[in-house]
Amino acid sequence: MDLLEPFSSRVDLREGLVGTVAHRLSRRLSDLRGLFLDEQARAEMVALGDPLVYEVFVAPAPESEGHLCHGVTVLHPGRVGDEYFMTKGHYHQKSGTAEVYYGLAGTGLMILQTRWGVWRTVDIAPGTVVYVPPHWGHRSINTGEVPLVLLYAFPGDAGHDYGTIESTGFARLVVADNGHPSVVENPRYAVEIPP
């Protein structure tokens, strides 16, 4: 039996996760080609300075069965055209695995979607716990003016499927309408055909 030493990390609302952190993943707008509806606006923003959209601070829990991967996502405020900054979004590779998010700072939405086009949105703010049940793809969206900081935890053997969302998108986009978030149809959404 492999006995892992207990460890702890500390959440810092500016710095993300500090202390025991395995790695830090940064996504700039140049890493998010094709994600936003207004590709021209995205390309212009990349040319004008390529803003940091989000960072993920990962605690050193093994990515294997029995463990709980966890960490902190810091999603910065901003928009590409009318569309708020958001994460790429994914399904778990092992589809029957869930995830829990806990809102630490900022305000936003999570959009969740099944492979056959059922979608839901859930508001997230400090103190909100979001349960992402098995089989739901998920994406976080910052609709506020400050970083949206989220703690997450999911089974170590879940893995990530980014390809499905890259090809289908989510059924809905979250855009600013007179300064307020509005959930609108995604004209590029392509529903998967059930097997």
Q: Which residues contribute to the site for Zn ion (CB under 5 A)?
A: 99
Torsion of CA 108, 185, 116, 166, to 10 degrees: -70
Kindly state the smallest distance separating residue 3's Cβ from ligand S6P, in Å: 25
- In this chain, which residue has its C-beta nearest to ligand S6P? 87
Name the residue nearer to ligand S6P (CB basis): 37 or 87.
87
Applying CB under 6 A, which of residues 36, 59, 89, 115 lies at the interface with ligand S6P? 89
Please list every residue from 101 through 140 that binds ligand S6P, using CB under 6 A. Answer: 140
User: What are phi and psi for residue 30, nearest 5 degrees?
Assistant: -65, -20
152 binds ligand S6P (CB under 6 A): yes
Q: Which of 190, 172, 189 is nearest to 83 (CA)?
A: 172
Q: Which of 131, 45, 144, 10 is nearest to 86 (CA)?
A: 144
Applying CB under 6 A, which of residues 35, 59, 74, 87 lies at the interface with ligand S6P? 87
Q: Which of 186, 97, 79 is nearest to 135 (CA)?
A: 97
Using CB under 6 A as the criterion, which residues of the chain lie in contact with ligand S6P when the complex forms? 56, 71, 73, 87-90, 99, 140, 152, 154
